[in-house]
């Protein structure tokens, strides 16, 4: 989570928000300038170089962890958030860009959010083409400075491409007749991203071209993409983004190696996926007031857990009726209840909560075997 500050300044871009405004930076005791990592692509390349480049072939790695950006906190935008991502380093083939995008699509399907998300793609060309486009865009916008908002005016000389994703209406109007990146792209750049899009569409993933998609980090060339909610909801709703970064490894002083990858925001995905955490368990164990000691109840729970069963232990006590009611409200399959009568007989009552099969009373020593047996008879009954 901690990196040397210098690792990010140049690579992510001195003029990007992520470095200029949002990097948490501070001096270590010996004066070394450290920072909290704002993203993991640059650290991945740093780690790869430190590990001797991990061999000569294409390296595919993944990560999951906390990232930090000093943003204005709001819904879906946090100062500490989590990303998972994957990077494929060592090949210029558009196949890898396509593979990364298909990996995202597969994850969205597994999470049940594929229908909610839209894929936008753009082609940022080569370094030379970007420099040429930068000039064209500057020339155009210098004739329209009156329409530009403060942020866009500040970026006009330092990072004009970032003006393209402005949300300001007047700035957008000034951009309406601006030249497009596509005008400066040579055949090789065109072919690379066209090939990527053809491959993913062949695999059933639809890509929408967005000539304004520039991303918030400066290390990209050729393919860039974002997954977000469609239409107006898109603002601030990107759940994942990525692209190709062929000169980044060399820039951090590592062996030159092209790469492509993505990162997804876990908090944003969770909100979208609406994954309810259900208290599903095999057994709900409840003990009536004064029936057995807490230590004995814990030992019974542990005997069930040792047998591989999941158990929710009810700590509230009360009368038998209340125990069964709470067990019914749980998401468990069986209630295991001990009242004073069961306690005296060193027994427990096991009741099915998901089907109408008969309840049973068993000796406490036989609980694990009896619970397992009733789970399978219950499963058979509900599948019928």
Residues 58-77 that bind ligand HAM (CB under 6 A): 69, 71, 76-77
**Could you tell me the CA-to-CA distances from 371 to 139, 280, 314, 332, 359 in Å, in that order?**
76, 15, 17, 12, 11
Q: Are 85 and 62 in contact (CB under 8 A)?
A: yes
Q: How far apart are CA 226 and CA 214, in angstroms?
A: 10
Closest CA to 209 of 220, 232, 225: 225
Q: How many CB atoms lie within 10 A of CB 159?
A: 18
Closer residue to ligand HAM (CB): 261 or 339: 261
Which listed range, 125-133, 169-177, 193-201, 233-241, lies at the site for ligand HAM (CB under 6 A)? Answer: 233-241
Least Cβ distance, residue 5 to ligand HAM (angstroms): 17
Among 124, 174, 184, 263, binds ligand HAM (CB under 6 A): 263
Question: Residue with CB nearest ligand HAM?
Answer: 265
Beta partners for residue 337, in sequence order: 286, 349
Binding flag, residue 271, ligand HAM (CB under 6 A): no
Among 225, 262, 284, 324, binds ligand HAM (CB under 6 A): 262
Binding mask 317-356 for ligand HAM (x = CB under 6 A): ----------------------------------------
Q: How far apart are CA 19 and CA 15, in angstroms?
A: 7
What letter does residue 295 receive in the DSSP assignment? H
Least Cβ distance, residue 268 to ligand HAM (angstroms): 4
Helix boundaries (H) for 51-168: 94-111, 127-142, 150-158
Binding mask 76-115 for ligand HAM (x = CB under 6 A): xxx--x-x-x-x----------------------------
Q: Are 196 and 98 in contact (CB under 8 A)?
A: yes
Least Cβ distance, residue 248 to ligand HAM (angstroms): 9
Binding flag, residue 241, ligand HAM (CB under 6 A): yes
Closer residue to ligand HAM (CB): 262 or 284: 262
Size (the chain), residues: 384
Q: How far apart are CA 100 and CA 119, in angstroms?
A: 13
Q: Which residues bind ligand HAM (CB under 6 A)?
A: 39-41, 69, 71, 76-78, 81, 83, 85, 87, 216-217, 238-243, 261-265, 267-268
């Amino acid at each position: 989570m901690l990196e040397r500050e210098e690792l990010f300044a140049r690579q992510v871009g001195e003029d990007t928000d992520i470095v200029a405004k949002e990097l948490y930076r501070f001096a270590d005791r010996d004066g070394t300038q450290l920072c909290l990592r704002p993203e993991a692509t640059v650290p991945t390349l740093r780690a790869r170089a430190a590990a001797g480049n991990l061999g000569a072939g294409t390296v595919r790695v993944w990560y999951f962890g906390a990232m930090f950006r000093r943003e204005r906190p709001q819904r879906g935008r946090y100062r500490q958030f989590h990303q998972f991502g994957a990077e494929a380093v060592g090949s210029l083939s558009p196949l890898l860009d396509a593979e990364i995008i298909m990996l995202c699509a597969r994850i969205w399907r597994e999470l049940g959010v594929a229908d909610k998300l839209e894929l936008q793609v753009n082609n940022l060309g080569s370094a030379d083409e970007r420099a040429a486009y930068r000039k064209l865009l500057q020339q155009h916008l210098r004739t329209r400075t009156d329409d530009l908002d403060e942020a866009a005016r500040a970026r006009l000389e330092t990072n004009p491409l970032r003006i393209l994703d402005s949300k300001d209406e007047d700035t957008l109007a000034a951009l309406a007749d601006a030249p497009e990146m596509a005008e400066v792209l040579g055949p090789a750049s065109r072919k690379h991203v066209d090939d990527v899009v053809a491959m993913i569409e062949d695999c059933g993933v639809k890509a929408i071209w967005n000539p304004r998609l520039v991303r918030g980090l400066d290390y990209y060339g050729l393919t860039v993409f974002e997954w977000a909610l469609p239409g107006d909801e898109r603002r601030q709703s990107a759940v994942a983004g990525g692209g190709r970064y062929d000169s980044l490894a060399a820039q951090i002083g590592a062996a030159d190696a092209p790469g492509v990858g993505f990162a997804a925001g876990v908090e944003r995905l969770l909100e979208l996926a609406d994954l309810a955490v259900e208290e599903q368990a095999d057994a709900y164990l409840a003990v009536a007031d004064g029936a057995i000691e807490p230590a004995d109840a814990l030992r019974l729970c542990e005997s069930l857990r040792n047998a591989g069963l999941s158990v929710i232990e009810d700590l509230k006590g009360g009368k038998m009726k209340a125990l069964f009611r709470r067990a019914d409200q749980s998401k468990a399959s069986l209630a295991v209840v001990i009242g004073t009568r069961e306690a005296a007989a060193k027994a427990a009552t096991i009741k099915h909560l998901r089907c109408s099969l008969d309840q049973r009373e068993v000796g406490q020593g036989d609980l694990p075997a009896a619970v397992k047996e009733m789970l399978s008879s219950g499963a058979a009954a509900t599948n019928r």
